[in-house]
Chain A
Amino acid sequence: SYELTQPLSVSVALGQTARITCGGNNIGTKNVHWYQQKPGQAPVLVIFRDTNRPSGIPERFSASNSGNTATLTISRAQAGDEADYYCQVWDSSFTYVFGSGTKVTVL
């Protein structure tokens, strides 16, 4: 089965840039989606189809996908960006696969 690997945690200084990676075999050939989940809340879609932001998601959130790594970038990090972030792909065996999640801390 397909697996996605994320770092357990990422720390970023207020106003700086955070990068969260999502590793998978040839993940660049798949569509990658990213979700933000704040404590006690439901997940929210922040990036779909590799690089697209849903309406209402700030431009500070961007992403890329190539080779074996997809990356979510949070620019000008704010305290409100503290959350768990999950990557997700759809596997050809009709399985939705999530990464294990990355906790982002804004210092």
Chain B
Amino acid sequence: EVQVLESGGGLVQPGGSLRLSCAASGFTFKHYAMNWVRQAPGEGLEWVSTISGGGDRTFYPDSVKGRFTISRDNSRNTLYLQLSSLRVEDTAVYYCAKEGAGTYHFDYWGQGTLVTVSS
């Protein structure tokens, strides 16, 4: 059974940093791209970043580019998201999501971890 489990969320001040983790199991982790998707309170879904299976390619939307860094440790089956220069508008539940095979979608999601940016 595929499982992804996020951790690391919490309360942080504007301008601060935080690292999220996502532990994966039930599939061959290194064979799949992995993603982070966030959801601000009461809002819709927003893609945050993607990393290839080998970890050599990363992608971000303009809203987080230069502030967030996605990485992975295939020996530990773990995905990471380093959040820096955080803003109030980064407050959201952050979901880890496994890439589906072939056509750029998300076939398994974790339960999410809440990041609150506030002074």
- List residues of chain A with CB under 8 Å of any chain B CB: 31, 33, 35, 37, 41-45, 48-49, 54, 86, 88, 90, 94-101
Contacts and interface: CB of A to CB of B under 8 A. Distances in A.
B111 A49 contact: no
B50 interface: yes
A98 B46 contact: yes
Interface of B: 35, 37, 44-47, 50, 59, 61, 95, 100, 102-112
Contacts of B100: 33, 45, 48
B35, B50, B103, B109: residue with the most chain A Cβ atoms closer than 10 Å: B103
| Prevailing SS type, chain B contact patch | strand
Contact of A96 (B50, B102, B108): B50
A96 B47 contact: yes
Nearest to A33: B105
Given A42-B95, A42-B109, A43-B95, A49 B103 contact: yes
A51 B46 CA distance: 23
A44 B109 contact: yes
A90 B112 CA distance: 22
Contact of A54 (B47, B50, B107): B107
Given A48-B100, A95-B61, A43 B45 contact: yes
